A and B are shown apart, each in its own frame.
Chain A
Amino acid sequence: MKAVIFDIQRNSFVDGPGIRTTVFFKGCNLRCKWCHNPESQSLKPQIMFYADKCTGCGRCRGITAADTDFICFNDAKQICGKEYTVDEVFAEVVKDRSFYENSGGGVTFSGGECMMQIDFLYEVLKKCKESGIHTAVDTAGNVPWEQFEKILPYTDLFLYDVKAFSEKLHKEGTGVSNSLILENLKRLSGRAEIIIRIPVIGGYNNNIDELKDIAEFLKDIEFSKVELLPYHSLGEHKYDALNMEREKFSVPDKADMKEYKKLF
């Protein structure tokens, strides 16, 4: 069994408690307009091309996304996404075991939407959990409830994204309804530790009423904390490299962020 992974980042401080390794799965069933990892959306390996770095040497002639071993000497052409077996992912994850144990960290499966490759996710979670590694799943939650049931025994923590409460707004920003997402969150409540993550996107959901509605909804949910993630523009160049259209959003005001935090 294999999964398409586009990055394994060791020493992550931002994807849950302690020091973690974050495994980024390719493929997502949302199309968030502000997505800072647009290369995560497609399930398949893709070519990313940074035109400004290309010297026209021609070494990449005929290269396709399947040539995952190809190396461009100018870093202009990169193959994003590679197939991994469960054992290969585990071998990377287990390298930092001592750092997890000493810091209360572990592994986080993220994406894209890691739950789209649920069978693989189940196997790798099971393997990590059974070897004593703390496990977290970073999800947007837009998958059938049965998939949560499946991985619950091997998942210590969910990093659960809530992007909007208003269905209309959600659909507008992500392309999908949030009814399944919110329903899954209700069902998940009390069954595992949950950290709620809310991206705050200037020009999308950075209005106090929308965030108040989310806070109101969360009153019935058991979670350990809420993290507000302000929009950043660091992913913009990747849209160009993938030849994708991008929309312009803004970084929310710092003072506003402080106000928003008080809601949760």
Chain B
Amino acid sequence: QTRLISGVVTDNESVPLEAVTVAIVGTQKTVTTDAKGSFKIEASTGQLLRFIYIGAEPLTIPITTESANLKVKLDIAINNLNEVVVTGYQKERKKDITGAVNVVDVSKIRDIPSGNAVKSLQGRVPGVLITTDGSPTGQATVRIRGIGTLGNNDPLYVIDGVPTKNGLEQLNQNDIESIQVLKDASSATIYGSRAANGVIIITTKKAKKGYSKIDFNASTSIQNYATKLKTLNAEERGRAYWQAAVNDKANPNNNQIYQYDWNNNFNNPVLNRVIFPEYIDAAKTMKAADTYWFDEIAQNSIIQSYDAALSNGGEKGNSLFSVGYYDNKGIVKGSRSQKYTARFNSDYNYLDNKLKIGENFSASYIKNAQIPASDILFASLVQQPVVPVYTVNGGWGGPAAGMTDRQNPVRLIEDNKQNTYNFYRFFGNAYADYQIIPGLNFRTNFGVDYNGSYQRLLKKSYVSGFLADPANQVSNSQTYQGNIIWQNTLNYKLTRDKHNLEILAGQEYIKNISQEFSASRQGLAIENIDYAYLNAGTTNTLNGGSGAGNRLLSYFGKVNYSYNDRYIASVTLRRDGSSRFGKENRYGTFPAFSLGWRMSEEKFIKDMGLFSDLKLRYGWGRSGNQEIPNNATRSLYSAIYGTDPTWDFDKGTAYDITGAGTGQLPSGFALIQQGNDNLRWESLKESNFGLDFGLWNNKLTGSVDYFIKKTSDILISPAYLAVLGDGGNNYSNGASLQNKGLDAILTYEDKIGEDFNFSLTGNFSLYRNKVTYLPKDVLASYPGNGTDKNVLGRPINSYFGYVADGLFTSQAEVDAYANQPGKGLGRIKYKDINNDGVINDLDRDFIGDNSPKFTYGLNVSLSYKNFDMSFFLQAINVDVVNDFKTYTDFSSLWTGTNWGSRTLDAWSPSNPGSTIPALTLVDRNNEGRFSTYFIENGSYLKLRNLQIGYNLKKALNMKIQNFRVFVQGSNLFTIKSKSFTGTDPEIPNYGFPVPVVGTIGVNITL
């Protein structure tokens, strides 16, 4: 006969578990546990009670005559198959997942002071390529499984259920509880139109029931600019110029700075001495110097990071409050990013625990120094060493006669350091989750994501060499943009015997707006940022502004089914409507399905005794992309009064028709784009084949995924036939791309003895990209010559140019070679691709592409008693374009700049083995043309991170929950290809250099 069985379910640390399904096997009777973990159920002796909880190994207990007040412990272990993974509007156990989903081990990146959780993930997730630089702002570019589209390739971030396209550098890294990456379409399609670039799901920390604690983390780092480019010093620059001139048989003294004492014999030139003038300018204000500009702009700088989190888990609710401060002074003087973050996450239970109401809310304030870092770095390369930083009167040094018209980089720092960019973001959601009947939950979630920026820039007047600008200016700009998001979902879970069914149905509405305005004035009496408000300006009053918005309305559903933990199937359908698309095609439908077979549950595998887990997965899905301007469907005219012509054409429509030469002008309208009512979603179809495995009781685990990703109807706005004139650009669904690839991750975890634990995680990924279709009329917009050589069948970011086939090393070779205008001894020989005896534009060919051939990473973690140690190696195999060679290798492409020290080793009859073209002042051979000379092997392996920690709590037996100190180094060494001629293949060109960082820090939990 039946009787009332009661009990309490806890995890292995005796924390009560809520919402555990308690079922009597073979019947339809189920109950769930309450907030105290207790349950009551009518059952009879001999029946089996089954406890099911997401994230825990299911447990079955037979009812015996003694069964009364049961104490049930469910094994919730981290990093096992029962780990809960947030997969989009719901949670699943890892072992039930059939798509390509990576769960990031957040603990491994916790202490890296990068200011951006995503940046710290570089190289850690197979199939996710993260590129970044050393800028203190911490921005990173994320590409999941290659370039899938021709527009915006950024993934969608979903933070506590709220979708956003903004990067994670705006979040406190230590607020993050978990990161999951949905890489394939079968898993990402639940996000429909925005999922084609993959989805990164972030869950922030919540207080745990029954736990009350304070976490405090602090670290201080010192950063060093270890990859300064070697440029010529003043003496060397003088010598290189002399060599270039005498190679040209031109009088080397025919210049305005360097004079030479030499034998005046062009056939056997010998330089005795470089003679510097006392002053390099006629006004005698700039003494000839020997400035190494990179030293002038670089600094050893400090990062400080502090955060504290107070969490309290109680009977009826949980709350967490955290604050963080991050201050990164960059290795370029004047660069700095400060972040202030605060978060409050809470949830409360009502109506006998049937209703849960909660919220997650964060606010961030970021203040970034506005120095023109890329100009500063570039100017440090090209500014000549003979230029002093300061004049004898304390003014700015700057270019003198015959020199490049680039700024003194120190002036750029000093004259801009008063300027800051201020950014704030409010991000969060409030939700209510109501259990209608056991297993059926309704959830409504309202999210807001608003951000804004404000900056007020003072541009100072200056005199710096022959560069001078007497006009100062204050300019203000303000932006405001954001989303509101409203989601409603129904989730139904049903467990019957060996059947597990979960049904999700939902609806989502997103409204986005953005606005900006700007204003500026000139003629400030005082150049002080505290004075420089708009009203202080007296001349050239300018203003501008714009705004736009869009809407998304979506319906979606998902069914997950598993039988006996062995056969798993999942079906997703989403329908999205976007205001961005043409009225003909406003809605798009995105289906997906996936299948899994947990072979390790089969007897024949179990009998092998090898596999603790073995799962075959297949998924297929279709997702979309809507990343085009809000009004791309329409033909539009714009009233463009006038635009800034400094670096681009004035697109304005105003004209001085009266000939007054000044004052308000009449102005018209210009077509800015052609409409396309047929514009529709870009469509991505992806198949994913996956295998998850665990051997020897999961000591060795891993997974391998192979994918075929095909994007079609890619939204493009290509270059167009010029006769269309203004606004001939037009968004259309044009191109198709294909990516095929492989991601793999392998972990080995074990312990030796009681005290020594270690784990090794390696990952590897590769993909191959190719263009499979382009409309004929847009082919010319992409690499190729537009006719017989085009990008079809090749990677989209292919390089197209000339093949530099070494140097001419003998006159006989020069004479015998094809008709190459400008050929000569020591000059670059360009390959005659079409063998017609003439080197011209028909000799261009495909000479590489920028996608990595493969990437890999290795993380090793060790712990012994109170010590822990980990290091992470990241590697990439890729070709890069080293544009800096224009300056490091040539004296002729920019004769007025400084050059690289490589020019000292240029080819000459006495240095016949050199591959660096002979020095000349006159580039007759057009050697700046894009050729393989500028393409280099940019492969590298970096020791990204090395950390050693020591747990003082255990060592000193302290009465707190945790007390750990650590030291850490980042980017400690790089192994690069010998053929790479720059300093850091990760930043081959104009990026902010990646520093070497050393950190000490502490983690305390009270």
Partners in one complex: no
